[in-house]
Structure 1
Amino acid sequence: MLRPWQQYFVNRSLEELKEGKKVIAINSPTGSGKTLTALKIIESAIELGIAKKSLFAVRTVTQLLPPLRDVERFGLRLKAVPLIGKEKACPAGYAGVNLCPQCSWRDRVGEPPASWTEVFSWIESTIRSFKCPYVTLKELSKDADLVVLSYQYLSPDILPKLGTDLKEALIVVDEAHNLLKFVRERKFKLDRAIGLLSSYPKLFKSLNSTEGVKEVVEVMKTFSTTILSLINVLRRLKGFSVVERPLRVTNFFEVSTSEIKIIVEALERALPKLVLEAHPAADLAVQIRDVLEAFTLLESGHGAAYLEGDSLVIRELKPWISKYVNESKGLILLSGTLHSKQFLETVLSAEVVYLDLFDNEYLRNSYFNLFNPNNVMYLFITDYSSKYKLRNDPVMMERRKRIELACYRMVARSGGTCLMVYPSYSALSLAKPHLSELSERGEVNVIVSERGLGHKVLEAAKRGASLVAAVAGDQLTEGVELVDEGGSSIIRAVAVLGAPFPSPSPYLEDFSKAVSKGDWKKTLEKLYEEEMLVKVKQAVGRLVRSPSDSGVVILADTRFLNYKEVLAKWYPKRFLSSSELLEMVS
């Protein structure tokens, strides 16, 4: 059942877990079967008594299906259950307030389906039978060996409410290259927050005549001055104009986050009653709770606030996944584009057992017998850079246009799709005029991605030969597969037009200070580098999705030359100028 590298990962992981190691990182490329590998580790760990349960975390709800499908397909000895949020599984469809204790459906537990791969149709049929899918899933998950859930369930806001004994649980995190996104974040417009908080007196006056919430009203009145202080701070922030970069906000020391937390907890106690009784102030109470809750992330210095345009953003300074290192039996991190061992150890503050398929010659050769490295050619462009200071340079702009034209001609001649990846939306914006000119030629479908519209681009790209312009780190370059019905990639070339280093920001500085035990500036420098490499590897990973896939990778930025052994060590490569690239294609 298992290929050589999968068996190696299973055996090594079990050995390390037996010895008490807490973090195992498995870096294994496309098509290597990471999901099955993780499931076999879970199955064996439970049978050997290393763990009693496992939580398998995936990025999105739709990605719950592959692990569930593999459990059934390979006949694994695991009792698996998916856990799906109230947005999809609650008959009332209400996720903003915990209504379960008061809900009349709270004891209506249904029967599981014959196959969990039909979970979404099962949800609909369970509701039609007047049973609650959400309650059913929670009940079934209590006795399950394997609970498959989305990232949000691992958040410290939610996981404790599931009642899972983490001390006996193994936590598997798929697509763990998203590590830096595992932080709680709240964002809201300043005007909206000020408006809502200014309605605070109106709220407790409205609740004053409501039975059963008198204690909550008293708490709200007691801390009215705290709300006034918060409003004053937000009003002062409106006087700042942030253009170039986000601004760190440091004056929330004037506001007591512990008092805000008391108000939030009081509102939480009142909200179920207000919502169920359709109280006219229920929506206002929910919105005020949401704004105030954001400021609780600042408690004890665990988070920081930033002004981004006319919005305030509050983020945690450490990934919440790090808190589970010592609270669980262990973490297993899966990805084909993991950060380095050193960086993971810095961010997680823990020793990491790092297993990389390419570090073992026998495993590497076994993989290449299936995925021939000669099917992919790397072309490094030696005369172009997307450095911020050079983006408007006429010479660089002309070279970028040559690369774009070369990509266009490749698609026009060979068909398929070329994915052109820009370092940012601002860089893509500079390219749009030339992309419009190429589109007018009519030979190739030129598609420019927009924020949040990746699904539309995906549909358009499947209609024929296409030149798709996307941004590193967006929906099209991470997690989305452009494949045909047989599972083969329809992408024939990936061109990365510029090294996608993160934009400098005070948050990344604060993050580096929070996780670093030494020189935080070195940690910050490493963070920029590693995040850039992850984005490039993710984009390039769209090219090969099956053993029969082949194509070209164009890395257009002189800075990529410093990373050629990291990005293309085992693949054939050429170094040429933008003019030579265009001439070669022509």
Structure 2
Amino acid sequence: MYKLIENQIRISVRNLVEFVLRSGDLDNRRSASAQKEAMLAGSRLHRKIQKRMGADYRAEVGLKMTVPLEGGIELVLEGRADGIIQGTDRVTIDEIKGVYFDVNSLEDMIPVHRAQALCYAYIYAVQNSLPGANIQLTYCNLDTEEIRRFQEWLELEALEETFQEYMREYGKWARFLYEHRVKRRNSIQGMEFPYPWREGQKDLAVSVYRTIARQKTLFIQAPTGIGKTLSVLFPAVQAMGQKLADKLFYLTAKTITRSVAEEGLEVMRSQGLVCSGVTLTAKEKMCVLDSPDCNPESCPRAKGHFDRVNAAVFDLISHRLGITREDVLEYAQKHQVCPFEMSLDVTYWVDVVIGDYNYVFDPTVRLQRFFADGSQGEYVFLVDEAHNLVERAREMYSAELCKEELLAAKKLFAGKSERLVKLLDKANRAMLELKRECDSYQVLENGEGLGALTAAVMQIYDQMEKYRENHPGDPDQKEQASFFFVVRDFLSVYDCLDDNYVTYLAHREDGSFMVKLFCVHPAARLRACMEQGLSTVFFSATLLPIRYYKELLSNCEEDYAVYARSPFDPARRLLAVGRDVSSRYTRRNQAEFEKIAEYILQMAEARKGNYLVFFPSYAYLEQVNEILEEAAGEDCRILAQGSRMTEGEKEDFLDAFSEDGSGTLIGLCVMGGIFSEGIDLKKERLIGVAIVGTGLPQVCAEREILKTYFDNRQEKGFDFAYLYPGMNKVLQAAGRLIRTAEDYGVILLLDDRFLRVEEVSQFPQEWADYQVTDRRSVGKLLGNFWAGLE
């Protein structure tokens, strides 16, 4: 069992030197260059250089040292030297850095690179009783492979003097972490659950704690309203108090869920808990400019950002525990730094990081300070609304390249880079050849046939990196950067292709043509991320069937699973299936729309109040809306969800669902949309939900590819591609109704397909009491239900 050593602070050599030495401007025009050595070409070139160095060269040498600091604190410093050369009279520590600029333009080692090599040299010299060490920086141009080396011999005394400077600079931060850990542990001891336990809630919390203690993965299916957030957060915080973890990542798909996590932590803090946290917000919502443009010419805060940001972070973490978006904006304003970049820095110093899935799982967005080197940390991942992660992961780990994007990029570089124009032309010709072979869509077995295209794209990537480095002020910089990231992502995914991917060509609806590297089975890549922590808890109100989610999120049958029963009185909820209507495409006609409208009106007429109706599409919604507008009475108001609602319009829509009981409101929404999950309309704010259709995704190339893929794996392809995702939308929409023990109301499932064995088998246990109805009997059924509640 893992146990945190409270007085030990762990940090990588790279993170240490980048932290204590950072200075200067924030400049996104050169940001890609800062991570070149981590990119595809850089990794390959590292290995190529290392292989050339001969028998005396030891590559990728792991180094680790525990350094005592003041106050009994120990700093555990670790990293991996690119190479160590054991000469006859001296040892050389080699650091390899891939760059795109002319290596001959360098006059000396870049300070942060020198510092990294110096730390490795000091650790190695001390551990091997050496009088000193030679540090070597090997700079290699990733385009030309030209190499330039700098060397410097340092006596042990000089190594130690500089190394101890870094330790003193980092000392106050290490003391802050240690002292905070002690306060955190003391505050957790004896802390009680903040509310009376609901039925099943305590068992849920025990399961979470045991999972963390055993460093395992847990899947929780628990109905809405049981209090999942606190049932997961409370035992996770308790686990930190028992030194079973040091940091929690609370990951969500939607902003509203993050606020629930914030509220849960605040409730515990009100009981004396000392537990810090930060909520991460997208850059676009944090930027002080109208549109993010992170360079000193466009943003005054970018100028000298790194000179000021450490002081800003220390000021904030010293004065706030629950750090919100508003807190970050306040302190960023005070110190004149970029609020988004500052919030990312804050994550290192807090106990709980609340944010989107991509901060842990997305290879292009994940927090590099925690996950860049692939090592395991003392982290627990709490994944809320985990049913969303399947499709999000497929999106994160897939990539596509469109022929039209190549032509647009060619125009961007016309007259600027003849080399790039030729390469883009070459890639376009390769795409044209693929297009000629494809009618609507075509699967390429094992990715065959992409050789010419990917070779050209690799050359485009290399040349674009060089161009961007040398032309930071190009007026088309934003458009160029957008295309550069498309190319980068395509190559990154191409390098990962395996049996979990399907490569296909497709003509899109807008007439464009694309190549897609489609991650159909994301579990392997998700698990690689999960293994960088100690434990993961997936939880949702709709995680059925569990086997489906275990297959696609972890692919480990041994993972734990818990099904929490609903604690709510079933007599306060009516569930009925309409057997005389269907949303099948073959039956989408005026007569069917009128039947659906009749059900909705009977539901609304049975009791005055607020109702939500979920449709399979906007087109279907509009057809029924026309009928309702004509047939509804004067005291019945109808609101319809728009396809492009602003944040203000969304708020106005929800605000209309009041508890004043002055009339009847029917809200028309799209299943799977913004109002079908994550909204909380309690008590009289919502007393009925109708769901039109079984939520099955539209038949399309990608769904058919999924179906075939899982059929070939002896799985139920139709279920994986259509049934399970569809029923998840249904369950989420139905979950809007019962949020608390005081809630009550009706749920109408309007499609005869809900009576098929396949759909019924996906019903949660608490739906076993469903009733079958039709337009002739539904009015009486509703009347009896409401009369029984009075």
TM-score (norm 2): 0.62
Name the counterpart of 2:571. 374
Q: SS at 1:567's partner residue?
A: coil
Give the aligned residue type for 1:551. Answer: G
Task: Tell me how far 1:329 sits from its aligned partner.
Answer: 1.6
Task: Note if 1:468 corresponds to 2:663.
Answer: no
Question: Which residue pairs with 1:218 in the alignment?
Answer: none
- Which residue of the other structure, out of 348, 357, 362, is the alignment partner of 2:564? 357
- Alpha-carbon separation, structure 1, partners of 2:400 and 2:487: 12
Q: Over aligned residue pairs, what C-alpha RMSD do you find?
A: 3.6
The equivalent of 1:213 in structure 2 is none
Inter-CA distance 142–542: structure 2 relative to 1 (3 Å threshold): same
Query: Offset at 1:117?
Result: 5.7
Q: Which residue of 2 aligns with 1:404?
A: 597
* Paired amino acid for 2:366: L
- 1:175 maps onto 2:369 in alignment: no
Deviation at 1:529, TM superposition (A): 1.6
Moved more, 500-509 or 229-238: 229-238
The reply to whether residue 120 of structure 1 matches residue 325 of structure 2 is yes
C-alpha distance 225-265 of structure 1, shift in aligned 2 (>3 A): closer
Q: What is the CA-CA distance between 1:175 and the residue it aligns to?
A: 0.7
Within the candidate set 327, 330, 354, 2:532 is matched to 327
Shift of 1:116: 6.0
Counterpart Cα distance in 1 of 2:669 and 2:234: 36
Cα distance in 2, alignment partners of residues 236 and 337 from structure 1: 45
Deviation at 1:535, TM superposition (A): 0.6
Matches of residues 500-539 of structure 1 in structure 2 within 5 Å?
Answer: 500-511=695-706, 518-520=713-715, 522-539=716-733
Q: Could you tell me whether the CA contact under 8 Å between 1:500 and 1:532 is conserved in 2?
A: yes
User: Offset of 1:390 from its aligned partner?
Assistant: 2.6
Partner of 1:200: 413
- Specify the SS of the correspondent of 2:225: coil
SS at match of 1:331: strand
**1:542 is aligned to 2:759:** no
Residue 499 (structure 1) shift: 1.1
TM-superposition CA deviations, 1:302-324 (whole Å, max 9, x none): 46454431255744333353432
Write the deviation string for residues 162-219 of structure 1: whole angstroms up to 9, x where unpaired.
33454432111111110222222667876455223343343426xxxxxxxxxxxxxx
Q: 2:521 aligns with which of 287, 311, 318?
A: 318
Q: How far off is 1:539 after superposition?
A: 0.4
Partner residue, 1:56: 250
Structure 1 residues 48, 462: closer, same or farther in 2, change over 3 A?
closer
Q: Which moved more, 1:494-503 or 1:413-422?
A: 413-422
Q: Is the 8 A contact 1:438 1:446 kept in 2?
A: no
- Note the 1:83-102 alignment, pairs <5 A: 83-91=280-288
> Is this contact kept in 1: 2:209–2:235, CA < 8 A?
yes
Residues in 1 aligned to 2:429 and 2:703: alpha-carbon distance in whole angstroms: 27
% same residue: 19
* Residue equivalent to 1:208: none
Aligned twin of 1:147: 353
Secondary structure at the counterpart of residue 451 of structure 1: coil
| Partner SS for 1:74 | helix
- Residue 780 of structure 2 corresponds to residue 570 of structure 1: no
Partner SS, residue 308 of structure 2: coil
- Name the counterpart of 1:78: 275
SS in 2 for 1:55: strand
* Corresponding residue number in structure 2 for 1:163: 370
How far did 1:354 drift?
Answer: 1.0
How many residues are treated as equivalent by the alignment? 544
Unmatched 5+ stretches in structure 1:
206-220, 359-363
**Cα displacement (A) at 1:444:** 1.7
Matched, 1:434 2:630: no
How is 1:35-54 mapped onto 2 (pairs within 5 angstroms)? 35-54=229-248
Instruction: Decide which structure has the larger Cα Rg and report it.
Output: 2
Match of 2:642 among 440, 450, 459: 450
TM-score for the superposition, normalised by structure 1: 0.81
Name the SS of the counterpart of 1:112 in structure 2: helix
Q: Choose between structure 1 and 2 for higher RCO, CA contacts under 8 A separated by at least 6 residues.
A: 1
After TM superposition, give the deviation of residue 409 of structure 1 in Å.
4.2
CA distance in 2, matches of 1:252, 1:450: 43
Deviation at 1:558, TM superposition (A): 1.6
- d(CA) in 2 for partners of 1:382, 1:329: 49
The CA deviation at 1:410 is: 3.5
How big is the shift at 1:451?
Answer: 1.9
Give 1:259 shift: 5.3
1:271 deviates by 4.4
Q: List gaps (5 residues or longer) in structure 2.
A: 1-192, 657-662, 784-790
Partner of 2:40: none
In the alignment, is the contact (CA less than 8 A) between 1:65 and 1:117 conserved in 2?
Answer: no
* TM-aligned CA deviation for residue 28 of structure 1: 1.2
Report how far residue 495 of structure 1 moved: 0.9
Q: 2:405 and 2:266 mapped to 1: Cα distance? A: 48
Question: Which AA in structure 2 matches 1:529?
Answer: L
Query: Aligned pair in 2 of structure 1 residues 195, 322: CA closer, same or farther (>3 Å)?
Result: same
Residue 383 (structure 1) aligned with residue 580 (structure 2): yes
**Alpha-carbon offset, residue 513 of structure 1:** 6.1
Alpha-carbon distance in structure 2 between the residues aligned to 1:339 and 1:94:
41
Distance verdict in 2 for CA 1:568–1:97, change over 3 Å = same
Moved more, 383-392 or 304-313: 304-313
Tell me whether 66-75 or 45-54 shows the greater mean CA deviation. 45-54
**In terms of mean alpha carbon deviation, does 507-516 or 40-49 score higher?**
507-516
Change (3 A) 1:107 1:255: farther
User: Paired residue for 1:309?
Assistant: 509
Q: Kindly tell me: are residues 421 and 384 of structure 1, through their superposed partners in 2, closer, same or farther at Cα, counting changes over 3 Å?
A: same
Identify the residue that residue 345 of structure 1 maps to in structure 2: 550
Q: Per the alignment, in what secondary structure is the counterpart of residue 576 of structure 2?
A: strand
Q: Is the 8 A contact 2:687 2:746 kept in 1?
A: yes
Distance 1:445 1:249, change over 3 A: farther
Distance, in Å, in 2 between the alignment partners of 1:197 and 1:453 is 35
Q: Which amino acid aligns with 2:519?
A: E
In structure 2, what is the Cα distance between the partners aligned to 1:279 and 1:197? 15
CA distance in structure 2 between the partners assigned to 1:197 and 1:480 by the alignment? 45
Decide whether the 8 Å contact of 1:91 with 1:127 is kept in 2. no
Q: Do 1:86 and 1:95's aligned partners in 2 also have CA atoms closer than 8 Å?
A: yes
**Partners of 2:578 and 2:772 within 8 A in 1:** yes
Paired with 2:502 and 2:249, the residues of 1 have a C-alpha distance of 26
Map of 2:745 onto structure 1: 551
- The change in CA–CA distance for 1:541 and 1:72 in structure 2 (over 3 A counts) is same
SS in 1 for 2:766: coil
Q: 1:419 aligns with which of 603, 608, 612?
A: 612
Q: Give the letter for the 1:478 counterpart.
A: E
In the other structure, the counterpart of 1:68 is: 262
Output aligned runs, 1:182-197, within 5 Å. Answer: 182=392, 183-184=395-396, 191=404, 193-197=406-410
CA contact (8 A) 1:349 1:515 kept: no
How far did residue 66 of structure 1 move? 2.4
Mean Cα deviation higher: 499-508 or 412-421? 412-421
Q: Aligned partners of 2:466, 2:535: CA distance in 1, in Å?
A: 34
Q: 1:204 to 1:61 in 2, by over 3 A?
A: farther
SS in 2 for 1:579: coil
Shift of 1:12: 2.1
C-alpha contact 2:596 2:624 (8 A) present in aligned 1: no
